[in-house]
Structure 1
Amino acid sequence: MNSKERRKYIEDLLRKSGKPQKGHILAEELGVTRQVIVKDIAILRAEGKKIIATPEGYLIPKEEKIMVKKVIAVSHGTSGIDEELKIIVKFGGIVEDVIVEHPLYGEISGMIMVKTLYDIENFMKKIQEYKAEPLLILTGGVHLHTIAAENEDILKNIINELKCKDYLISD
């Protein structure tokens, strides 16, 4: 299989799968290195393919209902991560990413795509497993999230509860 055929295979797999695909597993399956897969994904993105990298692997989001989105600014310590995510998911929100402003690098973001309590549980487990420091430690707890929801009412409910818990900086 040449590189063009491999990229077509990867794109088709990501479109059909509906779940994230790990780079190292794709590499094994296709008989190449993980670096080759990373390069293929970069080329596909450069061609305009909407591939996102999540902690669970690469995926092409399914075309879903039109969602409303809002970037919110929040602040809390590491002990507030679980509760904050649960508030957002409880009302039907999706936490797409986390963004912090770093004095040297500028904006740093990470895709998290948390939609369910199960996603939150896995996210929290990975923080423990990898002994990873969440991005909010770089900014004393201040960070942004892009929140997606089916309608404005859901966003309002999320914002109201985050305000009540003193997580929201501004709306």
Structure 2
Amino acid sequence: MNSKDRRKLIKDFLYESQEPLKGENLAKNLGVTRQIIVKDIAILRASGIKIIATPKGYIISEDKKNSIRKVLALKHKPEEIEDELETIIKFGGIIEDVIIEHRLYGEIRGMLMIKTLYDVQNFVNKVNRYDSEPLLILTGGVHLHTITVESKDALDNIITELKNKNYLISD
């Protein structure tokens, strides 16, 4: 199979999949190395396909016409991460990313794509298992999340709850 056909297959796999696809699995299925997949993904991105790399694998970014996206500024302690994420998910929000402003590097963004309570638990388990520091450690708890919701009511509920918990800096 040539590279053009392989990239078409990768694109088709990503569009058809309901779950993120790991680069290692794509490489194995297509009989190439993971590095070839990384290169193919870069070429597909350059062609205009909105592919996002998440901790769970690659996904196609779907711009839903009726959805609402909002960036929220938040501040809380590391031990409150799970509660913050669950608050957003509880009202139907999808947490696309976490963003911090670093003095040296500028904006640092980590793709999350947390959609369910199961995703929240997996994220929290990884933080604990890898003994990793979340990005908010670098900024005294201040960070941004891009969230997507299906309705203004859902967004209003998320904002109200985050305000009540004193996590929201501004809205």
Structure 1 residues 26-105: aligned runs within 5 Å: 26-62=26-62, 64=64, 66-105=66-105
Q: TM-score scaled to structure 2, two decimals?
A: 0.95
Displacement of 1:127 in angstroms is 1.2
String of CA shifts for 1:87-108, please: whole Å, max 9, x gaps.
Answer: 1111111111100001111001
- In structure 1, what is the Cα distance between the partners aligned to 2:46 and 2:18? 21
Distance in 1 (CA, whole Å) between partners of 2:58 and 2:10 is 10
Say whether the 8 Å CA contact 1:69–1:149 is kept in structure 2.
yes
CA RMSD of aligned residues (A): 1.3
Q: Aligned with 2:111: secondary structure?
A: strand
Counterpart residue type for residue 25 of structure 2? I
1:121: which partner in 2? 121
Q: Residues 45 and 116 (structure 1 numbering): CA distance in 2 closer, same or farther, change over 3 Å?
A: same
Tell me the secondary structure at the aligned position of residue 49 of structure 1: coil
Q: How high is the sequence identity, in percent, across the aligned residues?
A: 64
- What amino acid sits opposite 2:103 in the alignment? P
Aligned-pair CA distance for 1:63: 6.1
What letter is aligned with 1:137?
I
Letter in 1 for 2:123: F
Contact in 2 for aligned 1:18/1:62 (Cα 8 Å): no
Structure 1 distance, partners of 2:166, 2:62, is 34
**How far does residue 131 in structure 1 lie from its aligned partner after superposition?**
2.1
Q: Deviations over 1:2-42 (max 9, x none)?
A: 11111111001111112111011111222222111111101
Give the 3-state SS of the residue equivalent to 1:6 in structure 2: helix
Q: Is the 8 A contact 1:18 1:61 kept in 2?
A: no
Alignment correspondent of 2:15? 15
Which moved further from structure 2: 59-68 or 35-44? 59-68
Separation in 1, partners of 2:168, 2:78: 15
Distance in structure 2 (CA, Å) of the matches to 1:24 and 1:160 = 41
Q: What do the CA deviations read for 1:97-120 (whole angstroms, capped 9, x no partner)?
A: 100001111001011111111111
* Contact preservation (8 Å) 1:78, 1:141: yes
Mind listing any 5+ residue stretches in structure 2 that lack a counterpart? none
Q: Give the drift of 1:156.
A: 1.1
Is residue 72–residue 146 contact of structure 1 (8 Å, CA) maintained in 2? Answer: yes
d(CA) in 1 for partners of 2:153 and 2:46?
Answer: 36
Cα distance in 1 between the residues matched to 2:26 and 2:134: 27
Matched residues in 2 for 1:63 and 1:158: separation?
21
Given that residues 95 and 148 in structure 1 are in contact (C-alpha distance below 8 angstroms), is that contact kept between their aligned partners in structure 2? yes
Q: Distance in 2 between matches of 1:104 and 1:147?
A: 26
Q: What is residue 166 of structure 2 aligned with on the other side?
A: 166
Partner SS for 1:18: coil
Query: For the Cα contact (< 8 Å) 1:98–1:111, is it kept in 2?
Result: yes
